[in-house]
Amino acid sequence: MTSAGTIEVEALRKVFHQTGTGEAVVAIERLDFVVAQGEIVAIVGQTGCGKSTFLNLLIGLDRPTDGRIVIGGRVPYDQFDHFRGVLAAVFQQDRLLPWRTAIDNVRLPLELLGQQPSDQVERARAWLDRLGLARFEQAYPHELSGGMRQRVALARAFVIEPALLLADEAFGHLDEVTAAALRTAFVDLARTAGNTAILVTHQLEEAIELGGRILVFGRPGKLLADIDLKTWPVGAVASLRAEIQRMLQSNAPEPRFAVRTERESRA
């Protein structure tokens, strides 16, 4: 049986049609890869490479034009309700509900899952505490700094202990110190819980800092490279950085990073 956090992406394609003209815009040309349960993966690419579109497809907010995404043996768009409590996302903006206090924002997913109010409070409080926000649980989002709000959003994602955690440019707009701290917290929490985590970013440094697997996306939505940083000696990371940058600029894969499709891997 497939683990709940395993992701299989096969011949995925997404085309949008412009309002008015009806002109087709290819957001994702073709994507094939597999992410194993508990793996932490960074998706890096320039603006317009379909990263956010891919994440929306992964969450199940949108339907692929062709191909498929399967998470734990199920299709997120078609079997939407199955993923209740299975996945959680942190977005570029914190997306906190402004009329709820920090603790009530963290409780939100637990309310949706129908948990006991006392359990909701206990678990939300524990996560806020863990992220250093114990003193601010009754603060409204507008009373918190950007970094604090994003920590509340992290707590909201982690509180349901999902099998799959997604972050869409979640730390890119914060100052470097705060971003690094939150990134570390995100990865540590994911590792501790054994979650599969996908972190989408346009910052190469951020992807490298995660120290796990990097999927390099080219335009429009194609896989240029699939790199496992653990197989790279520490001293070679600088040259790897330069090679990824070259790939991103040329929008073409380097031969040594040739990506095999899922079907080819299986064969």
Residues of this chain that bind other proteins (CB under 8 A): 56, 59, 61, 80-81, 83-85, 87-89, 91, 93, 95, 97-101, 108-109, 111-112, 135-136, 139-146, 148, 160
DSSP letter at 138 equals T
Task: State the nearest-atom distance from the C-beta of 6 to other proteins, in Å.
Answer: 19
The pairs formed by 119-125 with CB atoms below 8 angstroms and a separation of 24 or more are 123/159, 124/155, 124/159
Nearer to other proteins, 59 or 215 (CB): 59
Nearer to other proteins, 142 or 266 (CB): 142
Amino acid at 124: A
Nearer to other proteins, 142 or 230 (CB): 142
CA 201 distance to own-chain centroid: 9
Question: How wide is the angle at C-alpha 242 spanned by C-alphas 253 and 37, nearest 5°?
Answer: 65
Question: How wide is the angle at C-alpha 238 spanned by C-alphas 234 and 240, nearest 5°?
Answer: 90
Task: State the nearest-atom distance from the C-beta of 102 to other proteins, in Å.
Answer: 11
Task: State the nearest-atom distance from the C-beta of 157 to other proteins, in Å.
Answer: 9
Q: Are 16 and 25 in contact (CB under 8 A)?
A: yes
Measured between its terminal Cα atoms, the distance across the chain in Å is 20
Nearer to other proteins, 65 or 92 (CB): 92
Nearer to other proteins, 135 or 260 (CB): 135
Task: State the nearest-atom distance from the C-beta of 117 to other proteins, in Å.
Answer: 14
DSSP letter at 258 equals P
Task: State the nearest-atom distance from the C-beta of 96 to other proteins, in Å.
Answer: 9
Q: Say how far apart CA 53 and CA 258 lie, in whole Å.
A: 23
Nearer to other proteins, 80 or 205 (CB): 80
The pairs formed by 255-261 with CB atoms below 8 angstroms and a separation of 24 or more are 257/216, 257/224, 257/225, 257/226, 257/227, 259/32, 259/33, 259/223, 259/224, 259/225, 259/226, 261/11, 261/32
Residue 31: closest CA among 222, 218, 173, 212:
222
Task: State the nearest-atom distance from the C-beta of 144 to other proteins, in Å.
Answer: 5
Task: State the nearest-atom distance from the C-beta of 175 to other proteins, in Å.
Answer: 13
Nearer to other proteins, 84 or 246 (CB): 84
